[in-house]
């Protein structure tokens, strides 16, 4: 349910499955949501079924937003801008080249604050190299950029003359110490000696 006085944050990522970055986004969304802060999860439809990322978000009780096209299509930018206004999204956080590119353009049309997360570039083929280059170009014009390593932030800062330096939030795996301790001691045939 949308309440007019709530802050609404959309976490947008193009993903066909539920991997490490998606799990981090979902974990963070659950951890920071509150009565005054709604965290939405968004992605793109690439096929006939919803992505695992959006399905898991719904199972966790998070509101979701699905965009109609998984391909680069100018209509997707307009669709996202319309949904940002319609859902009264206060901030869009984008993760990955497709979300960064589409989110950057839509955030300007909708006059919505935007933070882009740069998680690295693979350049695995000519098409991905092109998308990676477009991503780095758009990140130069993005007011707020978050990188997952200092080396990546330094690389981007060289290209962002006159802009705010990228922020660094180190990429890390999330785990529960108690679970790790229990599994490790049990695998060694020991009984857990303490509880966290």
Distance of alpha carbon 86 from alpha carbon 104, whole angstroms:
17
Q: What is the pLDDT of residue 149?
A: 84
Model pTM?
0.81
Handedness of CA 132, 76, 1, 48 (dihedral sign): negative
Q: What is the pLDDT of residue 162?
A: 61
- Across the chain, mean pLDDT equals 83
Tens of each residue's pLDDT in the chain, 196 residues = 455 678 999 999 998 889 888 999 999 999 999 999 999 999 998 777 888 999 999 999 999 999 986 667 789 999 999 999 999 999 999 999 999 999 999 999 999 999 999 887 888 899 889 988 999 899 988 889 998 888 888 888 876 666 678 888 876 544 444 454 455 445 455 544 443 3
Structure-block tokens of residue 182: 């229990």
Number of Cβ within 10 Å of residue 182's Cβ equals 15
Structural domains in the chain, sorted by start = 7-187 (3.40.50.2000)
C-beta separation of 70 from 57 below 8 A:
no
Q: What pLDDT, on the 0 to 100 scale, is given for residue 160?
A: 66
- Separation CA 88–CA 82 (nearest Å): 10
User: Residue with structure tokens 């680069």?
Assistant: 72
pLDDT in tens, 61-83: 999 999 986 667 789 999 999 99
User: What's residue 177's pLDDT?
Assistant: 46
């Amino acid at each position: 349910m949308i309440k007019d006085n709530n802050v609404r944050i959309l976490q947008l990522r193009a993903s066909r499955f539920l991997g490490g970055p998606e799990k981090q986004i979902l974990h963070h969304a659950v951890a920071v949501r509150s009565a005054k802060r709604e965290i939405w999860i968004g992605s793109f439809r690439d096929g006939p079924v919803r992505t695992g990322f959006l399905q898991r978000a719904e199972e966790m009780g998070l509101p979701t937003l699905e965009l109609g096209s998984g391909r680069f299509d100018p209509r997707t930018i307009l669709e996202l801008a319309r949904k940002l206004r319609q859902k009264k999204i206060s901030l869009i956080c984008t993760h990955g080249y497709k979300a960064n590119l589409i989110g950057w353009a839509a955030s300007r049309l909708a006059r919505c604050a935007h933070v882009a997360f740069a998680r690295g570039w693979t350049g695995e083929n000519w098409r991905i190299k092109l998308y990676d280059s477009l991503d780095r170009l758009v990140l130069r014009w993005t007011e707020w950029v978050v990188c997952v390593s200092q080396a990546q932030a330094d690389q981007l800062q060289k290209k962002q003359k006159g802009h705010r330096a990228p922020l660094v939030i180190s990429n890390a795996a999330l785990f529960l110490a108690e679970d790790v301790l229990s599994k490790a001691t049990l695998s060694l045939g020991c009984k857990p000696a303490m509880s966290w």
